[in-house]
Amino acid sequence: MSTITEIPTTTRVTTSMKANHEINITLKNGYAVAPSSPSSPIIMAVGETVRYSSDAGEVRILFQQQSPFRIDDVTMTYVPGSVILTLVSGSAGGILVGDCFIKPPGGPEVGYDPKQTGGGVHHRVTPP
């Protein structure tokens, strides 16, 4: 069984600058909802920066397969929200999916609706 590991802290940017891609995850009907879909992925490039956030609470994005924030082949990794992260690997022409989770203040963490086809945040990451 795979274990879930957090992205190494060496790739985080700790300044209060704006990211190239500000991705807002919302809560709708008790589920985390991303602003993308399999037919309309967010197009980004290696070297650009991304910040995931939500007004509803603390965000976590789980990459069950390849993560665009890692250069290795480790799967089941996650990135935290509210920090600026740099894209370091492409999606090889495909789409990378990150499962979205929000932990509202004082409440349990909730994820995307598993009944929703293509749930999660969808990325197409091109070369620089």
Q: Which two tokens stand for residue 18?
A: 């704006």
Q: Which residues contact 124 (CB under 8 A, 6 or more apart)?
A: 41, 42, 43, 44, 91, 93, 94, 95, 96
Q: Which two tokens stand for residue 82?
A: 């509210």
Evaluate if pTM is beyond 0.75.
yes
CA neighbor of 78 nearest in space, from 92, 94, 59: 59
Q: Which two tokens stand for residue 29?
A: 């009907």
CA neighbor of 39 nearest in space, from 125, 124, 126: 124
8 A C-beta contact, residue 58 and residue 27:
no
Split at pLDDT 50, 70, 90, the class of 55 is very high
8 A C-beta contact, residue 86 and residue 57:
no
* pLDDT, mean over the chain: 87
8 A C-beta contact, residue 113 and residue 119:
yes
Output the pLDDT for position 59. Answer: 96
For residues 110 and 14, give the distance between their C-alpha atoms in angstroms, rounded to a whole number.
Answer: 26
Output the pLDDT for position 38. Answer: 83
pLDDT above 50 for 9: no
pLDDT above 80 for 40: yes
Q: Which two tokens stand for residue 60?
A: 């976590």
Give CATH for domain 38-126.
2.60.40
pLDDT above 90 for 13: no
pLDDT above 70 for 39: yes
pLDDT above 60 for 2: no
